[in-house]
Amino acid sequence: MKIAPLMAEYERYPEIEPTLVHTGQHYDTTMSQVFFRQLEIPEPDINLGVGSASDAAQTAEIMKRFELLLLTHRPDAVLVVGDVNSTIACALVAVKMGVKVAHVEAGLRSFDRTMPEEINRVLTDAVADYLFVTEPSGVENLKNEGIQDEKVFFVGNVMIDTLLRNLKKAAASTILDGLRLKERGYALITLHRPTNVDGPETLRRLLQVFEAIGCELPVVFPVHPRTRKNISAFNLSPLDGKVQLINPLGYLDFLKLMGSAKIVLTDSGGVQEETTILKVPCLTLRANTERPITVKLGTNTLVGTDPGCILENFTRVISNHDTSFETPELWDGQAAKRIVEVLLKKLRRTAMVEPDNKGNTDV
C-alpha cells in the first residue's frame, strides 16, 4: 500500500530505474500477493524469500540476502517504508555499504520501546539520509532526536495516496452483500499485534469484549493468521456466533468494509490513518499510538484493552452521529509525487558532486 503510489510515480521519470525488492517477510497470499494484483504493483524484480522467523533471525536473514543483492546492483539509493523488520534490515545494510537511505513514514513514535516496530522506527531514522514524514508530530520527534532539519521532509502520507486512488474500485465491491451487512450497520475489528494476541489472558479478554459488542451491533472480524493460530492454540471460544469471523481480505474488499462500518476497533496503525480519511470513528486497542494526529482530530480514541473502557467508548461513539472530522495536512493523495521530486533533486545533486570514473552524472 505504501509502495504502490511510489512505483506509479517513478514511471513518470525515465531517468529513474527502480528495482522492486520483496523480502518475503509477508508471504501469505491474502497478506501479500493479492495486494500486488489489486493495487497494480509490478511483480517484484527480486524476492528474497525470507519467510517467518523470530525478529532476530528474520532481520539477520534479510540482511544477509540483501547485502548480496546490493553488491551486484549498487543502486544510488535504497528506499524503505514503514517499520517492519525488512525496513531496518535493508536500511542497515545500505548505510554500511555507503548507499543513501530514504525512509518513507519517518518520525512516527509511540514512545513504547516494548513494541518491536518502535525500535525499527527509531533505528531506521537514525541512519537514514532522507526522512519523509507523514504528520507534524514526526517533524517534532526527529528534531528532538537531533536529526538535521535538511534531512527531514514533510510530504504527507502515501497510504492515503493509495486509499484515494482506489475508492471508486472499492465502491464496486460486493463484500457487504456477501456478509449480509448493512451500510453503517456493523462494527469492524482487526487485531494482530503481539501484545494483544500472543498472551492468552489478553486475547481472551478482548474476544469477550467483541462478543459483548456483538450483542449490540453485528460484528465482522477478518482474522489475521497470527491471531487465528493463537485462538486455536489457547483453546479460546469462537465467540458463540456473536462475531462473524472471516479470513483476511484483499485491499479493495477491506477498504469497502472499513468505509461502510459504523465503528472500527483495531490495533493497526494504518487502519487508524485510513479511518481518519474515511470519517469512520475508530477505537484503538492500545495504550499509545504513533499516529497522534488521528487522536488530535477526533477520529480515533485510545482505549487500551480494558473491557470497561472499550465498552464505554463503544457506547459513546455509536450514539454520536457527528462525523465532521478534519483531514490531516497534506493527506491529499500527492505524497508520492513530493517524495520522488525530493529524491530526484537530491540524487541529481549527488551525481553531479560524485561523478563515476567516466565522468557520467546519470542517476
- Which CA distances in Å does 276 have to 140, 155, 260, 272? 21, 18, 13, 6
H-helix segments, 180-306: 194-197, 200-214, 225-233, 251-259, 269-278, 292-296
- State residue 229's pLDDT score: 95
Q: In the numeric block, which cell numbers belong to residue 27?
A: 508471504
Per DSSP, the residues of 49-114 read ---S--HHHHHHHHHHHHHHHHHHH--SEEEEETTSHHHHHHHHHHHHTT-EEEEEEET-----TT
Residues 6 or more apart whose Cβ sits within 8 Å of residue 21? 44, 45, 46, 47, 48, 66, 69, 90
Catalytic, 192? Answer: yes
Burial class (CB in 10 A: 0-12, 13-18, 19+), 271: buried
CA distance to 48, 88, 219, 228, per residue, from 5 (Å): 22, 21, 32, 31
Find the angle CA(149)-CA(151)-CA(153) to the nearest 5 degrees: 85
* Chunked mean pLDDT (size 10), the chain, 363 residues: 96 96 73 81 92 91 97 96 97 98 98 95 98 98 98 98 97 97 97 95 96 96 95 86 92 97 97 97 97 96 98 96 89 98 92 52 31
The residue from 73, 192, 224, 321 that is catalytic is: 192
User: Which of 104, 149, 99 has the alpha carbon at shortest distance from 124?
Assistant: 104
Whether 4-156+334-353 and 174-318 share one fold: the answer is yes
Residue from 256, 293, 35 nearest 156 by CA: 293
Is 255:170 a contact under the CB 8 Å cutoff? yes
Residue 324's pLDDT is 84
Q: What is the pLDDT of residue 361?
A: 30
Q: CA 293: distance to chain centroid?
A: 15
In this prediction, residue 291 carries a pLDDT of 97
CATH class of 174-318: alpha beta
Architecture of domain 4-156+334-353: 3-Layer(aba) Sandwich (3.40)
pTM of the model: 0.92
Question: Residue 172: which region, alpha, beta or left (left: phi > 0; alpha: psi -120 to 50)?
Answer: alpha
- Contact indicator for 339, 3 with CB cutoff of 8 Å: no
Q: 249 near 30, Cβ under 8 Å?
A: yes
Domain locations along the chain? 4-156+334-353, 174-318
